[in-house]
Amino acid sequence: AQTVTQSQPEMSVQEAETVTLSCTYDTSESDYYLFWYKQPPSRQMILVIRQEAYKQQNATENRFSVNFQKAAKSFSLKISDSQLGDAAMYFCAYRSGASYDKVIFGPGTSLSVIP
């Protein structure tokens, strides 16, 4: 069974600085999809960025980018120019490319932004 691990329960970053959140996963599949979601205090889940495993190029969305290392099964999220609104829980998620059914999440990282 697939698992997703986020080894940093809490992180903090100074406003305008850069922070990297870690995510590793365990799978025997070669085809899959990875996502980062943000959950602010409102608890609404918001998609931040996604990556297809078959793509070598790392995904980017404005200030958010990923470092996808398929061999190492690592999928870290980099937030540049951190803003106060980035403070939230961040979840890494895995979706199988074989069955497209289960989507499993890591335990999350709580990010604080220091003004």
List of residues contacting another protein (CB under 8 A): 31-33, 35, 37, 43-45, 47, 50, 52, 91, 93, 95, 97, 100-108, 110
Q: Minimal distance in Å, beta carbon 115 to another protein?
A: 23
Q: Identify which of residues 19 and 38 has a Cβ nearer to another protein in the complex.
A: 38
Lookup: tokens for 76? 């870290």
* Among candidate residues 11, 4, 9, 27, the one with its CA nearest the CA of residue 78: 11
Q: Identify which of residues 41 and 115 has a Cβ nearer to another protein in the complex.
A: 41
* Among candidate residues 67, 62, 82, the one with its CA nearest the CA of residue 24: 67
Q: Minimal distance in Å, beta carbon 81 to another protein?
A: 24
Contact 70, 21 (CB under 8 A): no
Q: Identify which of residues 14 and 75 has a Cβ nearer to another protein in the complex.
A: 75
* Among candidate residues 13, 34, 7, 31, the one with its CA nearest the CA of residue 81: 13
